[in-house]
Amino acid sequence: MDIGDAQKLAWENKELKGFNTTDVALEFGLLTAEVGEAFTAWRKGLPDLGEELADVFLYLAALAQMNDVDLGSEVARKIEKNAGRTYGRNDHGALVRTSTS
């Protein structure tokens, strides 16, 4: 599924069901809770990890919509930017970016 299409469908579902569509801070809080649920599913080896990750995406998509962000375009732009970056290990062995892009 296309990210833009998913963003649109997630938003339409929120409007249809009467879920939050205006309180950005609340949506960030709900997103954080969903990330916690996904982490718990992964840590415990639960079978619903995929569903929890989908919930994370849907809350993220709603946040993008609330803020007039085209998430599909932003993801594509960020992937391209990341592809041009280089990394190396510092004196402590930590991976750090070595390019300026």
Q: Is the Cβ–Cβ distance between 10 and 58 less than 8 Å?
A: yes
Give the Cα separation of 27 and 86 in Å (integer). 33
Tens-digit pLDDT profile for residues 40-50: 999 999 999 99
Residue 9 CA to residue 33 CA, distance in Å, equals: 21
User: Distance (Å, rounded) from C-alpha 9 to C-alpha 70?
Assistant: 13
Ordered by where they begin, the domains of the chain are 3-97 (1.10.287.1080)
Residues 5-60 have pLDDT tens digits of 999 999 999 999 999 999 999 999 999 999 999 999 999 999 999 999 999 999 99
| Rounded-to-integer distance, Cα 7 and Cα 72, Å | 8
